[in-house]
Amino acid sequence: MKYTEEHEWLLQDGDVVVVGITEHAAEQLGDIVFVELPEVGAEVSRDDEIVVIESVKAASDILAPLDGEIVEINEALTDNPGLVNEDAQGDGWFFKIRPSDLSPMEDYMDEAAYKDFIG
């Protein structure tokens, strides 16, 4: 698993990368009440705002961590956005992206570096 400075996690699964937010980010946001996900098939560029999260405390945007195509979204979040709070780094994932290039994954933090970053 890799981590961004925007508190996203990335998990490579073959030629697809699963993206969500970290437990730390979910705790900071508080109870999540709404998630707007990107469209399947959308072509995105790194740093595009592609997910909107609303919590009782704030609204936040999730940025695309890689260039590529959105190949799947987590439909469960539409009916149950609180799933992000319950299992941020598991069932609370946001989308899957097929990157045009996987090499930028190497630029992101591993778990130890992320723990130092939030520490």
pLDDT for the residue numbered 13: 94
Instruction: Give the single-character DSSP code of 116.
Output: H
Question: What sign for the dihedral angle of Cα 91, 93, 94, 99?
Answer: negative
State pTM to two decimals.
0.95
pLDDT one-digit tens code per residue, 15-68? 999 999 999 999 999 999 999 999 999 999 999 999 999 999 889 999 999 999
d(CA 10, CA 7): 10
Would you tell me how many other CB atoms lie within 10 Å of the CB of residue 43? 11
pLDDT of residue 21: 97
**pLDDT value of residue 6:** 94
pLDDT for the residue 84: 97
pLDDT interval class at 115 (50, 70, 90): very high
Q: What percent of the chain has pLDDT over 70?
A: 100
Residue 107, pLDDT score: 94
Q: Residue 78's pLDDT is what? A: 93
C-alpha closest to that of 97 among 7, 5, 1, 13: 13
What domains lie within the chain, and their CATH numbers? 2-101 (2.40.50.100)
The per-residue pLDDT of the chain, averaged, comes to 96
- pLDDT for position 93: 98
Residue 2 pLDDT: 98
78 three-class SS:
helix
